[in-house]
Amino acid sequence: MNLQVVIGSGPAGAATARLLAEQGHRVRVVTRSGRAPEPGIEHLALDAADSEALTEAVRGATAVYGCAAPPYHRWTTDWPPLAASLHAAAEATGAVLVMLGNLYGYGPVDGPLTEDLPLAATGPKGRARAAVWERTRELAGQGRIKAVEVRASDFFGPGVTDGGHLAARVMPRLLRGKPVSALGDPDAPHSWTYLPDVARTLAEVAGEERAWGRAWHVPTAPPASVRQMVDRLAAEAGTGPVAVRGLPPAVLGIASLFSPLLRELKEIRYQFDRPFTVDSSAYEAAFSVRATPVEEQVEATVDWWRARQGEEQ
């Protein structure tokens, strides 16, 4: 059994840790506060930006998975030290660094997103995230670390509660047959990356040396608008057609005065005002992971949210 270290226990980190444990690996999860033990998973409390402590936690590992992210409003200040610590740990231990990235670094793009596009973000969060990968790729090019980045679109699926546009803002209301609101144009095509597919892709590239040194898009199902996804989820839930209302810019502007998250989302509003689609064909041509069929995604997501609501009652 190889030791695998996962940094962060948000939806992606937790899903990846559990998948790696199911595959028979020894798994260590690093978070600031730690967690209760899970079968096959050791939880360790430390600040991942502390490079000495993180290096000791990673020592002996085959791979380290960078699944943590600073609070949304602190990306510009907190990403550089966190990334530097991950780089130092990978260089000192020889573990391959598997970074979980997103699509902010590309900035606004006309047409499908592919990995060969320049990282031309114009907003501070996009530039901060692009800078992390540029430094990672530079170190890998110098032979100082082994690294790969996996980029996903908006998360969808079981375990996704925060930050998901088809999560906490939508699912509880949808399950009650209530209208839901959408950021931007509810009819604009959009790519949704299924969370279990994120975990499977991270685990796969860690063991594929030919994947290292570049970025890849997680295999993602064909795009669907918020309205289309809500229709599918409501049909699966049996709650009938659910109205979907777009949030006008003026309403969003007023709401952002009271919501720090909505203020931060203004930078990426373009992703929901027009088509935002991901091309994952490069990954699919080279490796084995494929996007889970949408019907299975929808069924699992509805089941998970129903079980969650039952636990909360």
Whether the predicted model's global pTM rises above the 0.85 cut: yes
Rounded distance, CA 136 to CA 126, Å? 16
Residues 58 and 12 placed together within one structural domain of the fold: yes
Rounded distance, CA 290 to CA 170, Å? 26
**Looking at residue 163, what is its pLDDT?**
64
245 near 181, Cβ under 8 Å?
Answer: yes
> What is the Cα Rg of the chain in Å?
19
Residue 226 domain boundaries: 157-190+222-276+295-312
Could you give the 3-state DSSP secondary structure of residue 272? Answer: helix
Q: Is residue 84 included in any domain, yes or no?
A: yes
pLDDT tens, 12-56?
Answer: 999 999 999 999 999 999 999 988 888 999 999 999 999 999 999
53 near 47, Cβ under 8 Å?
Answer: yes
Residues 204 and 233 placed together within one structural domain of the fold: no
Residues 131 and 77 placed together within one structural domain of the fold: yes
Task: Give the DSSP H/E element, type plus range, for residue 206.
Answer: helix 195-206
Rounded to whole angstroms, what are the CA distances from 271 to 23, 50, 230, 274? 35, 34, 18, 6
**Looking at residue 87, what is its pLDDT?**
98
Q: Is residue 92 included in any domain, yes or no?
A: yes
DSSP of 9-45, one letter per residue?
Answer: -SHHHHHHHHHHHHTT-EEEEEESS----BTTEEEEE
Rounded distance, CA 150 to CA 132, Å? 13
Q: Which amino acid is at 16?
A: T
Residues 203 and 87 placed together within one structural domain of the fold: yes
Residues 41 and 89 placed together within one structural domain of the fold: yes
Residues 113 and 49 placed together within one structural domain of the fold: yes
HSE-up of residue 140 (Cα within 13 Å, Cβ side): 22
Rounded distance, CA 108 to CA 102, Å? 13
pLDDT tens, 190-243?
Answer: 999 999 999 999 999 999 999 999 999 999 999 999 999 999 999 999 998 999
Residues 142 and 33 placed together within one structural domain of the fold: yes
Question: Which of 200, 165, 135, 125 has the alpha carbon at shortest distance from 272?
Answer: 165
Q: Is residue 83 included in any domain, yes or no?
A: yes
pLDDT tens, 228-270?
Answer: 999 999 999 999 899 999 876 666 666 666 666 666 677 788 8
24 near 45, Cβ under 8 Å?
Answer: no
Residues 19 and 110 placed together within one structural domain of the fold: yes
Q: Is residue 245 included in any domain, yes or no?
A: yes
Residues 172 and 97 placed together within one structural domain of the fold: no
> In this structure, what DSSP letter does residue 62 have?
S
Q: Is residue 233 included in any domain, yes or no?
A: yes
pLDDT tens, 113-156?
Answer: 999 999 999 899 999 999 999 999 999 999 999 999 999 999 99
Residues 205 and 174 placed together within one structural domain of the fold: no
CATH code where residue 233 lies: 3.90.25
Tokens at 26, concatenated: 């020894």
pLDDT tens, 145-189?
Answer: 999 999 999 999 999 998 657 998 899 999 999 999 888 899 999
Q: How many domains does the chain have?
A: 2
Residues 209 and 62 placed together within one structural domain of the fold: yes
Could you give the 3-state DSSP secondary structure of residue 292? Answer: coil
Tokens at 46, concatenated: 């430390």
How much is the mean pLDDT over the chain? 93
CATH code where residue 115 lies: 3.40.50.720
Residues 165 and 207 placed together within one structural domain of the fold: no
